[in-house]
């Protein structure tokens, strides 16, 4: 086979590629019980991961979409557990309403306190976030320990997030942390199982900001 001539790239505009991708997702996703706006989040998660199983595993608190849109329109802040989320999120749609996206995992005071207490930086960064934010959106895609700490703080009445996007990936504590989140009566977006990650957390957050843009 002549590899120089066998492949012909698809020569369409980026927005057309996204439209084609979403049409393919719709045709392959199958039956579901998501609401219209929940499915918009699911679409973007599947688009980011090419994983239909992950899409079907998503769980939504009944007020998750409404709470997330309201938080963005009210200029509330977004806390992210790792820099990868900061790099991927469409910050302009959040900042135009007065909000911002914040990551504390590499702050010197966080690293120093984590070392002093012999614990993870993810845990300390969540503690720092609740001291700085009243409400806000917590986007956790990498560190189950961050999500478990946030859940503890919510249960103790120390944290009152507007929305928790809890989609950490992994084998140790990731499935369990999401199970615990799904038991809380706070607005959340999460999923069942080990799958997740920063990329799909970004996708979910971007979907919420797009819904806010259209509100």
27 CB-contact burial (10 Å; exposed 0-12 / middle 13-18 / buried 19+)? exposed
More reliable by pLDDT, 82 or 6: 82
pLDDT digits (tens, 9 = 90+) for 148-161: 999 999 999 999 99
Cβ contacts of residue 198 below 8 Å, gap of 6+? 82, 84, 85, 88, 141, 142, 169
Which one of the listed residues 32, 47, 97, 102 is annotated catalytic?
Answer: 47
Q: pTM of the prediction?
A: 0.92
On the question of pLDDT at 62 being above 60, the answer is yes
pLDDT digits (tens, 9 = 90+) for 165-186: 999 999 999 999 999 999 999 9
| Residue-range domain boundaries for the chain | 3-214
pLDDT digits (tens, 9 = 90+) for 85-136: 999 999 999 999 999 999 999 999 999 999 999 999 999 999 999 999 989 9
Helix (H) or strand (E) holding 163: strand 163-166
Our answer to whether residue 97 is catalytic in this structure is no
Tell the CATH topology of 3-214. Answer: Rossmann fold (3.40.50)
């Amino acid at each position: 086979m002549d590899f120089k001539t066998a492949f012909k790239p698809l020569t369409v505009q980026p927005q057309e590629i996204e439209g084609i991708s979403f049409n393919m997702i719709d045709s392959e996703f199958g039956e579901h019980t998501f609401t219209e706006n929940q499915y918009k989040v699911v679409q973007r998660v599947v688009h980011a991961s090419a994983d239909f199983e992950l899409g079907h595993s998503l769980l939504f608190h009944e007020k998750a979409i409404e709470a997330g849109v309201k938080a963005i329109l009210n200029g509330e802040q977004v806390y992210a557990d790792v820099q990868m989320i900061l790099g991927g999120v469409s910050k302009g749609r959040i900042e135009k309403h007065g909000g911002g996206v914040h990551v504390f995992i590499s702050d010197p005071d966080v690293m120093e306190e984590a070392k002093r207490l012999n614990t993870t930086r993810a845990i300390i960064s969540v503690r720092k976030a609740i001291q700085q934010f009243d409400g806000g959106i917590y986007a956790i895609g990498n560190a189950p320990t961050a999500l478990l700490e946030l859940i503890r703080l919510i249960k103790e009445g120390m944290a009152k997030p507007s929305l928790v996007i809890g989609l950490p990936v992994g084998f140790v504590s990731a499935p369990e942390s999401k199970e615990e989140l799904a038991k809380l009566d706070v607005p959340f977006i999460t999923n069942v199982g080990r799958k997740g990650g920063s990329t799909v957390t970004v996708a979910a957050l971007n979907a919420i900001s797009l819904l806010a843009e259209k509100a």
